[in-house]
Chain A
């Protein structure tokens, strides 16, 4: 297989199948936001530090700004849009609201995906484990206090 600068990829995002032709240079986050118009996942930096673009790729938590869309060819992707079922918030989303774990809401989708990954691995994380689970997600509004509370509450 020789190198190509454009490629057609197929992905499953939140249970929906998408096929798109795109530039090899396109980042996964831009593919998700601009090409698929799933704008829940955000961009807050350009160095892979903020985690606002966090999604699950084949069950693994990744920053979608540090991955090319072509690398996700054939993958199953989960984004924040897939968390609620029929408009009903899941336990984690509800806990974020109950505990005022969001203010501007910009980091929230990435934060929720990190927390989702954490809680799948660890049903009852300690405070330190929670903080470690979200260490790659920057929030500038909350000081993380209520985010940690919300994740702890959702785990219970």
Chain B
């Protein structure tokens, strides 16, 4: 509950944030803090410097482009997405955000913080992988784009490296999406989650909680047999913990994959 000593800065511009992050190896960006502050309370991580992104206006906001692409600022909160008329262009986003934790966390937690912390039980990493989102990262060297399925590198590790910032997430148009999960109780820690997204020709599935990063699968069709085969062929080797054995997670991955695909298919 009690943090180690830390220094704090609240820049108003991305460039200033980058400078602060670059100036100290022990600096970390603070987004909504709904993961990071908790980790610091446990003293499981103790950054030397927190660079609070709250005042950086350019990191906020939701824009719907003329081609149907949604641009989500990294500091957009879950509640912003749930309440946003623009974000309804891709309904699954608000639906899944509404399943994250609770009101208080949704009010402060941000889409950027969620993906950058890449806790394997988070909902957004598999969702963004399935729906083919693109992440924009800026650093001293400039800006680059990374597809979501290349963004997640390991537990708490992403393509946004030291001294870099995730600034926005771009989501292509689409509506044939599904999401299925088994949490503990109605809204507790997630045991397995699966996101599915279908286009006319392709099916993309991303399974969370079974590996350090979401596992992307592209079954040949949306038929049950094809989905099952894709899950089998992935040779999942999920972690076990107090909430679930590896065997149970492997089993749920298959069941939930079918359910996510079925939901997505209903929305064609």
CB–CB under 8 A between A and B in the complex?
yes
Stretch at the interface among A55-63, A76-84, A88-96, A144-152: A55-63
| Contact residues in B for A68 (Cβ distance below 8 Å) | 8, 33, 37, 50
Instruction: Give the docked Cα–Cα distance between A117 and B108 (Å).
Output: 14
Instruction: Give the docked Cα–Cα distance between A71 and B11 (Å).
Output: 12
Q: Given A66-B34, A66-B37, A67-B37, A24 and B104 touching (CB < 8 A)? A: no
| Contact residues in A for B103 (Cβ distance below 8 Å) | 61, 114, 117-118, 132-133, 135-136
A62 touches B107 (CB 8 A): yes
Q: Which range contains the number of A residues in contact with the other chain? A: 20 to 34
B5 interface residue, CB < 8 Å from A?
Answer: yes
Within 8 A of A (CB), among B235-264: none
The smallest C-beta distance from B100 to any residue of chain A, in angstroms, reads 11
Q: Which range contains the number of B residues in contact with the other chain? A: 35 or more
A25 touches B33 (CB 8 A): no
B102 touches A5 (CB 8 A): no
Q: Which of A2, A114, A133 sits near B9, CB closer than 8 Å?
A: A2
Q: Given A54-B104, A61-B107, A62-B104, A7 and B34 touching (CB < 8 A)? A: no
Most chain-B Cβ atoms within 10 A of its Cβ — which of A2, A46, A68, A133? Answer: A68
Who on chain A is nearest to B37 by CB?
A: A66
| Contact residues in A for B187 (Cβ distance below 8 Å) | 135
The smallest C-beta distance from B189 to any residue of chain A, in angstroms, reads 10
Instruction: Give the docked Cα–Cα distance between A32 and B223 (Å).
Output: 56
B45 interface residue, CB < 8 Å from A?
Answer: no
A48 interface residue, CB < 8 Å from B?
Answer: yes
B102 touches A135 (CB 8 A): yes
| Contact residues in B for A43 (Cβ distance below 8 Å) | 1
Contact with A along B38-80 (1 / 0, CB 8 A): 1001100000011110100000000000000000000000000
Who on chain B is nearest to A2 by CB?
A: B9
Contact with A along B1-13 (1 / 0, CB 8 A): 1111111111100
Most chain-B Cβ atoms within 10 A of its Cβ — which of A25, A47, A70? Answer: A25
| Contact residues in A for B51 (Cβ distance below 8 Å) | 3
The smallest C-beta distance from A11 to any residue of chain B, in angstroms, reads 15
B105 interface residue, CB < 8 Å from A?
Answer: yes
B7 touches A67 (CB 8 A): no
| Contact residues in A for B1 (Cβ distance below 8 Å) | 27, 43, 46, 65
| Contact residues in B for A1 (Cβ distance below 8 Å) | 9-11, 16
B8 touches A24 (CB 8 A): yes
Within 8 A of A (CB), among B74-101: 101
B50 touches A24 (CB 8 A): yes
A12 interface residue, CB < 8 Å from B?
Answer: no
The smallest C-beta distance from B268 to any residue of chain A, in angstroms, reads 28
Most chain-B Cβ atoms within 10 A of its Cβ — which of A3, A61, A62? Answer: A3
A46 touches B7 (CB 8 A): no
The smallest C-beta distance from A61 to any residue of chain B, in angstroms, reads 5
Q: Can you pick out 14 interface pairs between chain A and chain B where the beta carbons lie within 8 Å of each other?
A: A1-B9, A3-B49, A5-B6, A23-B5, A24-B50, A27-B1, A51-B104, A54-B104, A63-B108, A66-B108, A71-B30, A71-B52, A135-B102, A135-B186
Identify the A interface with B (CB < 8 A): 1-5, 7, 23-25, 27, 43, 46-48, 51, 54, 60-63, 65-68, 70-71, 114, 117-118, 132-133, 135-137
